[in-house]
Amino acid sequence: MLSLKQGLSLSTKKTLGGWSPTDETSLEAWYQYGVGITLNGSNVSEWADSSSENHDMIQSTAGEQPAYSGGVLTFDGSDDNLASNQINLTGACTIAIRGDFSSAAGDTVLGDDETSNAFIKIQSSSVLRIRVTAGLVDFTLSSGTFGDDYLVITRDASNSVNAFKNGVQISASQSRSGVIKIDNMGTNIGGTFFNGTISEVVIFNSTSAALTSNINSRLSSL
Protein backbone atom coordinates (compact mmCIF):
# COMPACT_ATOMS: atom_id res chain seq x y z
CA MET A 1 0.00 0.00 0.00
CA LEU A 2 1.48 3.32 -1.10
CA SER A 3 1.28 6.21 1.32
CA LEU A 4 1.50 9.84 0.28
CA LYS A 5 1.24 11.05 3.86
CA GLN A 6 4.59 12.77 3.68
CA GLY A 7 2.61 15.52 1.97
CA LEU A 8 0.98 16.35 5.31
CA SER A 9 3.88 18.63 6.07
CA LEU A 10 2.57 20.93 3.34
CA SER A 11 -0.62 21.64 5.29
CA THR A 12 1.10 24.20 7.48
CA LYS A 13 2.48 26.22 4.57
CA LYS A 14 0.92 29.53 3.68
CA THR A 15 -1.13 29.54 0.51
CA LEU A 16 -2.91 32.08 -1.62
CA GLY A 17 -1.36 35.32 -0.58
CA GLY A 18 -0.41 34.14 2.90
CA TRP A 19 -3.67 32.53 4.06
CA SER A 20 -4.07 28.87 5.00
CA PRO A 21 -7.03 27.07 6.63
CA THR A 22 -4.70 26.22 9.51
CA ASP A 23 -4.57 29.95 10.34
CA GLU A 24 -8.13 29.62 11.63
CA THR A 25 -8.53 28.36 15.20
CA SER A 26 -12.00 27.12 14.21
CA LEU A 27 -10.64 24.64 11.65
CA GLU A 28 -12.49 21.36 12.27
CA ALA A 29 -11.36 19.22 9.33
CA TRP A 30 -9.30 19.71 6.17
CA TYR A 31 -9.12 17.13 3.41
CA GLN A 32 -6.45 18.90 1.46
CA TYR A 33 -5.92 18.69 -2.28
CA GLY A 34 -3.24 16.10 -3.04
CA VAL A 35 -2.17 15.75 0.60
CA GLY A 36 -2.59 12.98 3.18
CA ILE A 37 -3.54 10.34 0.63
CA THR A 38 -2.87 6.63 1.24
CA LEU A 39 -3.25 4.53 -1.90
CA ASN A 40 -4.24 0.91 -2.33
CA GLY A 41 -3.05 0.53 -5.91
CA SER A 42 -4.77 3.46 -7.62
CA ASN A 43 -7.58 3.75 -5.06
CA VAL A 44 -7.77 5.74 -1.83
CA SER A 45 -7.85 3.82 1.44
CA GLU A 46 -7.34 6.94 3.59
CA TRP A 47 -7.51 10.70 3.24
CA ALA A 48 -5.89 12.08 6.37
CA ASP A 49 -7.24 15.19 8.05
CA SER A 50 -4.75 18.07 7.70
CA SER A 51 -6.25 19.83 10.73
CA SER A 52 -5.30 18.88 14.28
CA GLU A 53 -8.71 17.28 14.96
CA ASN A 54 -7.90 13.80 13.57
CA HIS A 55 -11.03 13.28 11.48
CA ASP A 56 -9.25 10.99 9.01
CA MET A 57 -11.45 9.58 6.24
CA ILE A 58 -10.85 5.81 5.85
CA GLN A 59 -12.13 2.94 3.71
CA SER A 60 -10.70 -0.53 4.37
CA THR A 61 -12.88 -2.37 1.83
CA ALA A 62 -10.99 -2.31 -1.48
CA GLY A 63 -14.09 -2.41 -3.66
CA GLU A 64 -15.51 0.70 -1.95
CA GLN A 65 -12.41 2.89 -2.27
CA PRO A 66 -12.64 5.90 -4.60
CA ALA A 67 -10.15 6.12 -7.47
CA TYR A 68 -7.32 8.66 -7.33
CA SER A 69 -5.53 10.63 -10.00
CA GLY A 70 -3.75 13.97 -9.91
CA GLY A 71 -5.08 15.06 -6.53
CA VAL A 72 -8.69 14.20 -7.40
CA LEU A 73 -10.84 11.43 -5.84
CA THR A 74 -13.47 9.88 -8.13
CA PHE A 75 -16.52 8.26 -6.50
CA ASP A 76 -18.35 5.70 -8.66
CA GLY A 77 -21.94 6.33 -7.53
CA SER A 78 -22.30 2.67 -6.59
CA ASP A 79 -20.58 2.05 -3.26
CA ASP A 80 -17.46 4.23 -2.99
CA ASN A 81 -17.21 6.15 0.28
CA LEU A 82 -14.81 7.16 3.07
CA ALA A 83 -15.74 7.23 6.77
CA SER A 84 -14.44 9.19 9.75
CA ASN A 85 -15.28 9.76 13.38
CA GLN A 86 -18.21 12.10 13.91
CA ILE A 87 -17.97 15.83 13.17
CA ASN A 88 -20.73 17.74 15.00
CA LEU A 89 -21.42 21.32 13.95
CA THR A 90 -23.85 22.73 16.49
CA GLY A 91 -23.72 26.45 15.72
CA ALA A 92 -21.90 28.75 13.34
CA CYS A 93 -19.96 26.86 10.70
CA THR A 94 -18.49 26.89 7.21
CA ILE A 95 -18.31 23.87 4.91
CA ALA A 96 -16.43 24.13 1.61
CA ILE A 97 -16.18 21.52 -1.15
CA ARG A 98 -14.37 21.53 -4.50
CA GLY A 99 -15.50 18.88 -6.96
CA ASP A 100 -17.39 17.89 -10.09
CA PHE A 101 -21.10 17.47 -9.40
CA SER A 102 -22.38 17.26 -12.97
CA SER A 103 -23.48 13.60 -12.63
CA ALA A 104 -24.50 13.75 -8.96
CA ALA A 105 -28.24 14.49 -9.11
CA GLY A 106 -29.81 12.90 -6.03
CA ASP A 107 -26.44 11.98 -4.53
CA THR A 108 -24.99 12.65 -1.08
CA VAL A 109 -21.60 14.39 -1.06
CA LEU A 110 -21.07 14.53 2.72
CA GLY A 111 -23.30 12.87 5.29
CA ASP A 112 -23.93 11.11 8.57
CA ASP A 113 -23.84 7.33 8.11
CA GLU A 114 -24.89 6.58 11.71
CA THR A 115 -28.15 7.92 13.13
CA SER A 116 -29.20 11.44 12.14
CA ASN A 117 -29.45 11.09 8.34
CA ALA A 118 -27.87 14.54 8.02
CA PHE A 119 -26.35 15.28 4.64
CA ILE A 120 -25.19 17.72 2.01
CA LYS A 121 -26.70 16.52 -1.25
CA ILE A 122 -26.95 17.55 -4.88
CA GLN A 123 -30.71 17.03 -4.86
CA SER A 124 -31.04 17.74 -8.58
CA SER A 125 -28.98 19.40 -11.30
CA SER A 126 -30.02 22.80 -9.90
CA VAL A 127 -30.86 22.17 -6.21
CA LEU A 128 -28.46 21.86 -3.28
CA ARG A 129 -30.14 20.23 -0.26
CA ILE A 130 -28.83 20.34 3.30
CA ARG A 131 -30.34 18.23 6.06
CA VAL A 132 -29.55 18.94 9.71
CA THR A 133 -31.05 17.24 12.74
CA ALA A 134 -33.86 19.84 12.75
CA GLY A 135 -34.89 19.47 9.11
CA LEU A 136 -34.16 20.38 5.50
CA VAL A 137 -33.17 23.48 3.54
CA ASP A 138 -32.99 23.69 -0.26
CA PHE A 139 -31.02 26.18 -2.34
CA THR A 140 -32.01 26.47 -6.01
CA LEU A 141 -29.82 27.92 -8.74
CA SER A 142 -31.44 30.80 -10.62
CA SER A 143 -29.78 29.57 -13.80
CA GLY A 144 -27.45 26.83 -14.96
CA THR A 145 -26.63 23.53 -13.28
CA PHE A 146 -24.02 22.11 -10.95
CA GLY A 147 -20.79 20.98 -12.60
CA ASP A 148 -17.09 21.44 -11.87
CA ASP A 149 -17.66 23.87 -9.00
CA TYR A 150 -16.65 24.97 -5.54
CA LEU A 151 -19.48 25.10 -3.03
CA VAL A 152 -19.44 26.95 0.28
CA ILE A 153 -22.15 26.59 2.92
CA THR A 154 -22.26 28.90 5.93
CA ARG A 155 -24.38 29.19 9.05
CA ASP A 156 -24.02 32.11 11.43
CA ALA A 157 -24.77 32.43 15.15
CA SER A 158 -28.37 33.41 14.33
CA ASN A 159 -28.87 30.16 12.36
CA SER A 160 -28.97 31.97 9.01
CA VAL A 161 -27.82 29.46 6.38
CA ASN A 162 -26.33 30.53 3.05
CA ALA A 163 -24.92 28.59 0.13
CA PHE A 164 -22.54 29.76 -2.58
CA LYS A 165 -21.53 28.28 -5.94
CA ASN A 166 -18.24 29.55 -7.30
CA GLY A 167 -18.43 32.56 -4.98
CA VAL A 168 -21.99 33.54 -5.95
CA GLN A 169 -24.85 33.16 -3.48
CA ILE A 170 -27.45 30.52 -4.37
CA SER A 171 -30.91 31.97 -3.68
CA ALA A 172 -31.88 33.68 -0.41
CA SER A 173 -30.59 32.76 3.03
CA GLN A 174 -32.72 30.44 5.16
CA SER A 175 -33.01 29.83 8.89
CA ARG A 176 -32.20 26.38 10.24
CA SER A 177 -30.95 25.34 13.66
CA GLY A 178 -29.88 21.83 14.62
CA VAL A 179 -26.69 19.80 14.42
CA ILE A 180 -24.92 19.19 11.13
CA LYS A 181 -23.37 15.74 11.52
CA ILE A 182 -20.69 14.50 9.14
CA ASP A 183 -18.88 11.18 9.32
CA ASN A 184 -18.87 10.10 5.68
CA MET A 185 -17.71 11.33 2.30
CA GLY A 186 -19.79 9.80 -0.45
CA THR A 187 -23.03 8.73 1.24
CA ASN A 188 -25.23 8.90 4.37
CA ILE A 189 -27.35 6.35 6.22
CA GLY A 190 -29.90 5.03 3.75
CA GLY A 191 -28.74 7.54 1.15
CA THR A 192 -27.51 7.33 -2.41
CA PHE A 193 -23.82 7.16 -3.24
CA PHE A 194 -22.00 10.09 -4.79
CA ASN A 195 -21.19 9.95 -8.50
CA GLY A 196 -18.53 12.59 -9.07
CA THR A 197 -15.18 13.91 -7.93
CA ILE A 198 -13.84 15.69 -4.86
CA SER A 199 -10.58 17.63 -4.78
CA GLU A 200 -10.81 19.28 -1.36
CA VAL A 201 -13.13 19.63 1.65
CA VAL A 202 -12.63 22.16 4.46
CA ILE A 203 -14.84 22.46 7.55
CA PHE A 204 -14.79 25.19 10.21
CA ASN A 205 -16.91 25.67 13.34
CA SER A 206 -17.24 29.39 12.64
CA THR A 207 -18.13 31.71 9.80
CA SER A 208 -17.33 35.24 8.70
CA ALA A 209 -17.17 37.26 5.50
CA ALA A 210 -13.36 37.16 5.61
CA LEU A 211 -13.30 33.38 6.04
CA THR A 212 -15.76 32.89 3.18
CA SER A 213 -13.66 35.14 0.95
CA ASN A 214 -10.44 33.32 1.81
CA ILE A 215 -11.85 29.84 1.22
CA ASN A 216 -13.48 30.92 -2.05
CA SER A 217 -10.12 32.25 -3.21
CA ARG A 218 -8.40 29.01 -2.27
CA LEU A 219 -10.90 26.68 -3.92
CA SER A 220 -11.07 28.76 -7.10
CA SER A 221 -7.36 28.12 -7.60
CA LEU A 222 -7.58 24.31 -7.46
Residue type, 29: A
Confidence (pLDDT) at 115:
73
Model pLDDT for residues 47-62, shown as the tens digit of each residue: 999 999 999 999 999 9
Buried b / exposed e over 67-104, threshold 16 CB at 10 Å, is: bbeeebbbbbbeebbbbbeebbbeebbbbbbbbbbbeb
How much is the average pLDDT of 127-137?
Answer: 92
Residue 19 inside a domain? The answer is: no
Residues in contact with 42: Cβ distance below 8 Å, sequence separation at least 6, in sequence order: 67, 68, 69
Confidence (pLDDT) at 35:
98
Residue 18 inside a domain? The answer is: no
Residue 116 inside a domain? The answer is: yes
Q: Which domain holds residue 167?
A: 2-10+24-220
Confidence (pLDDT) at 14:
45
Q: What average pLDDT does the chain have?
A: 92
Residue 211 inside a domain? The answer is: yes
The CATH number of residue 197's host domain is 2.60.120.200
Model pLDDT for residues 138-188, shown as the tens digit of each residue: 999 999 999 999 999 999 999 999 999 999 999 999 999 999 999 999 999
Residue 17 inside a domain? The answer is: no
Question: What is the value of pTM for the model shown?
Answer: 0.93
Residue 16 inside a domain? The answer is: no
Residue 15 inside a domain? The answer is: no
User: Lowest-pLDDT range, 19-23, 130-134, 200-204?
Assistant: 130-134
Nearest CA among 135, 117, 120, 128 for reference residue 178? 135
The count of structural domains within the chain is 1
